[in-house]
Chains A and B, each alone.
Chain A
Amino acid sequence: MLEIKNLHVKLEEEDKQILKGVNLTVGEGEVHAIMGPNGSGKSTTSYVLSGRDGYVVTEGEATLDGEDILEMEPEERAAAGLFLAFQYPVEIPGVSNMTFLRTAVNAQHKARGEEELSATDFLKLVRAKAKSLQIDADMLKRPVNMGFSGGEKKRNEILQMAMLEPKLCILDETDSGLDVDAMKLVSDGVNALRDGKRSFVVITHYQRLLDHIKPDVVHIMYDGRIVKSGGPELALEVEHNGYADLLAEVEKA
C-alpha cells in the first residue's frame, strides 16, 4: 500500500533538514501508529505525503500502490486514494460544508473517470454518514469549520474521510483537543472505515487513542527518523516511561 524509502526532506525557506531517512511500509488493511516527541518530524511526514508546499524532498521516495506520489499534485494524491485528516482543520468562510463535500467527492469521481453522484444520492449518503458522527444538518449548512468546536472540526474531518473513501488515511493528531466522549465518537468513525483493505497511519502523542483505534504496528519517530518499531505494547511503554529511556537505548545502539 504505502512504501516510504529513505525519505529526506528539508524546509524550502531555510536550510533545515526535517526528515533524515524515513522508512515505513504499511500493508493493506494495516493500522500503523507513529509516536514521538515534539519536533521529531511526524506532522512533516504527513504534510510531505499529502503534498503541502514549503518542503523539498532531497532524497528517497514514497509510493502508494506502486505509484510515485511525491511527483503528484495534492489533488492527484487525493484521487489516488490518500487522505490526510488535518491536525488543524482549515476554516473556509463563504463555502458551505455541504458544497465543500460535494465538490470534493465529485472532483475525485471525475479524476478517476467515475460517474458523479446525483444530488439526491449525495444527500442521502452524506446524511447517513453525518448521523453516525453526530453531525447535524446545521453543521452541514454552515461554512466549512467556521464556528465549529475542536471536537466538531475533528468529526468533520472523519466525515470527509468517510465520504471520500480513501485507500490510505493519515490521521495527524486527530485526538488533540478532544474530550473523552469526542475521542470515542471519532474513533468509532475511524473503526467503521476499517474493512481489512483500507490502511491507516495514526500520528498521536497519547496511548489513549490507540485504546480505541488498535494499531498493528507502533513506530517511534525521533530526529527525522523512525528509530524503533514494535507491537501495541510499545505505545504502552511510552505512556508509562516517556521517551527518555527508549531514546537513550536507541542512541546506545
Chain B
Amino acid sequence: MKRAELKQKKLDATAARVEGMTFPAGAPWAEALRQDALNRLLTMGLPQGRDEYWRWTRPDSLNATEAPKAAVFTAGEAPVFSGLDRIKLVFVDGVFDAEASDALEGENLEIMRLSDALSSDIHWVKDAYGVQEKKAQVPVERPFATLNTAFATDGMVIRATGKVAKPVSFVYLHKEESSDAILHHVIRVDEGADLTVLENGPAAARFNKVMEIEVADKAAFHHVRAQGRDHERRAVTHIFATVGQEALFKSFTMTANGVLTRNEVFIDIIGDDSVAHVAGAAMGDGDFHHDDTVFITHDAERCESRQVFKKVLRNGAKAVFQGKILVKPDAQKTDGYQISQGLLLDDNSQFLAKPELEIYADDVACSHGSTVGAIDEEALFYLRSRGVPASDATDLLTLAFLAEAIEEIEDKAIAEDILHRLEGWLKRRRK
C-alpha cells in the first residue's frame, strides 16, 4: 500500500472511532479548545501498528469503537493508600462520585470538577486545558491525548496555592464490565507551593487519562500511582508537565497486571536549577503488556532529570520502554540519567527497550543504561547457602531489583506500602 493510501486508511479509522462522540457541555472557550483538539486529531489520525512509536504496543484495542470487556475483580486486601490521611476523590467507571468522595476543599487548595471549570470563566484554566497536550505533539504525535482533550467527560482541576498538607488521592473504581472512561485533570502548583497527588485503581475496562501539570518556580509536585487489579483492563495515560525554576517534579508508578497499559510521560524543564524524576516498577504475569514511553526535554541550565524503569516479567509477559532525554543547546550543566531494566523470570517473557539521548549542549553529563537478564544465580546460591529458601531468595532479589525505582518515592510510608504490595504480588505467584 502506498503511503498516501495508508494515511487515508488511518484517517478513515479515526473518523469512524470518533463518529457519534459529542463534546460534553461547556463554555464557548472550552468548546473551541475541544474543537481544536478534534481537528488536530482528524488531521494526524489515531496510531496504527506501523507507526514508529507504536511498533511494540498494538493500539488496536485502544482504537476500537467499543471498549473490550474487562472482568471486575474483587480483592480481599485493602486498596493501596487507604490508610493515609488524604483528600479522597472517587471516580466510578470514569464518573466522579461526590458522595463517596471527600469535600472538594483543603488548605491552600482549590479543587473543582472539570465540567464545572470548563463551564466557568477561570483564567488560568483557559490557558491550561489541552495546552500542554497540544505543545507535546512535536516531535512525536500523541493522538490518544488529543482524543482525550476533545472528549474528556470528567476530571479535576486542581490548584495548589501553598503547601497542601494532605495528598489529593484519586481512587478509580471499575464496576461495569465494558466501561470506557476518558478523564482529564489539570493541575497547577503555584510558586513555592507543594502538592502530592496519588492515584490508584483499575478505573474502567478501557481508560484514557491525561494529566497536565504546571509546576511553577520553587514549587514541588509529588505523584505516586498504583495501577493494579482487574487484569483485563486497558489503559493509555499521559502526563504532561512543565517544571519551573528551582522546582521539583517527581512521579512514580507501580503497575501490576493489565493486558495493556501505555503510560506516556512528557516533561518540559523550562526553569533553571530544577529537578524532574520519573520512575516505574512494573510486574507482569502472563498476558501482560506494559509500555513506558518517556520524553524529557531540558530547556534550562543546571537541571537534573532521572528516568528509572524496572520491569519484572514472567509467563510470557511483555514490557516496553521508550525513553528519551533531549538537551537543548542552552541547557548547559544538565545532569541526565536514564536506566531501564527488565528482569525475566523465565524464557518466555520479553523486554523491549529504546533508550535515546539527543544532546545539543556541550557541557552536560548524561548517562543511560538498559539491561535485560535473569535472576543472578550467584546471588541466589549465596542466599540459599545462608539458609534462605529458594523462593524467598528469588523474591528478595526481585524486590532488590526494583529497589532503585521504589527509592524514587520520597514519602517513606508510601514507599513501604508499595513495597508490601509488590511483595504480596510475588508471594501469590510462587510455584
Q: Which residue of chain A lies nearest to B400 when distances are taken between CB atoms in the complex? A: A94
Contact of B392 with A52 in the complex, beta carbons under 8 Å: no
Q: In whole angstroms, how far apart are the Cα atoms of A103 and B397 in the complex?
A: 12
Query: B53 near A: Cβ within 8 Å?
Result: no
Contact of B387 with A108 in the complex, beta carbons under 8 Å: yes
CB contact between A103 and one of B379, B388, B401, B404 (< 8 Å): that residue: B388
Query: B127 near A: Cβ within 8 Å?
Result: no
Contact of B392 with A94 in the complex, beta carbons under 8 Å: no
Q: In whole angstroms, how far apart are the Cα atoms of A219 and B185 in the complex?
A: 75
Contact of B400 with A164 in the complex, beta carbons under 8 Å: no
Contact of A74 with B392 in the complex, beta carbons under 8 Å: no
Contact of A104 with B386 in the complex, beta carbons under 8 Å: yes
Q: How far is the CB of A50 from chain B (nearest CB, A)?
A: 5
Query: A78 near B: Cβ within 8 Å?
Result: yes
Number of interface residues of A (CB under 8 A): 31
CB contact between B382 and one of A92, A99, A107, A108 (< 8 Å): that residue: A92
Query: B378 near A: Cβ within 8 Å?
Result: yes
Query: B396 near A: Cβ within 8 Å?
Result: yes
Question: Which residues from A are CB-within-8-Å of B402?
Answer: 94
Q: How far is the CB of A170 from chain B (nearest CB, A)?
A: 10
Q: How far is the CB of A126 from chain B (nearest CB, A)?
A: 14
Question: Which residues from A are CB-within-8-Å of B400?
Answer: 92-95, 143
Query: A84 near B: Cβ within 8 Å?
Result: yes
Q: Which residue of chain B lies nearest to A94 when distances are taken between CB atoms in the complex? A: B400
Query: B16 near A: Cβ within 8 Å?
Result: no
New A-B pairs, 14, CB < 8 Å, besides A75-B390, A92-B379: A50-B385, A53-B381, A75-B384, A78-B386, A83-B385, A86-B385, A90-B381, A92-B382, A92-B383, A94-B397, A95-B400, A103-B392, A103-B396, A107-B392
Q: Which residue of chain B lies nearest to A52 when distances are taken between CB atoms in the complex? A: B381
Query: B98 near A: Cβ within 8 Å?
Result: no
CB contact between B378 and one of A51, A84, A90 (< 8 Å): that residue: A90
Q: How far is the CB of B275 from chain A (nearest CB, A)?
A: 23
In the complex, chain A residues 61-86 whose Cβ is within 8 Å of any chain B Cβ = 73-75, 77-79, 83-84, 86
Among B388, B399, B401: residue with most chain A CB under 10 A: B388
In the complex, chain B residues 379-431 whose Cβ is within 8 Å of any chain A Cβ = 379, 381-390, 392-393, 396-397, 399-404
Question: Which residues from A are CB-within-8-Å of B383?
Answer: 92, 100, 103-104
Q: How far is the CB of B412 from chain A (nearest CB, A)?
A: 15
Contact of B396 with A104 in the complex, beta carbons under 8 Å: no
Contact of B401 with A75 in the complex, beta carbons under 8 Å: no
Please, could you name 5 A-B residue pairs with CB atoms under 8 Å apart, sorted by A? A79-B387, A94-B397, A99-B396, A103-B396, A144-B382
Query: B77 near A: Cβ within 8 Å?
Result: no
Query: A56 near B: Cβ within 8 Å?
Result: no
Contact of B388 with A104 in the complex, beta carbons under 8 Å: yes
Q: In whole angstroms, how far apart are the Cα atoms of A139 and B385 in the complex?
A: 21
Binary interface encoding of chain A residues 19-59 relative to chain B, with 1 for a CB under 8 A from any of its CBs, else 0: 00000000000000000000000000000001111000000
Contact of B385 with A78 in the complex, beta carbons under 8 Å: yes
Contact of B385 with A84 in the complex, beta carbons under 8 Å: yes
Q: In whole angstroms, how far apart are the Cα atoms of A103 and B399 in the complex?
A: 14
Q: Which residue of chain A lies nearest to B384 when distances are taken between CB atoms in the complex? A: A74
Among A52, A73, A75, A144: residue with most chain B CB under 10 A: A75
Question: Which residues from B are CB-within-8-Å of A99?
Answer: 396
Question: Which residues from A are CB-within-8-Å of B384?
Answer: 51, 73-75, 78
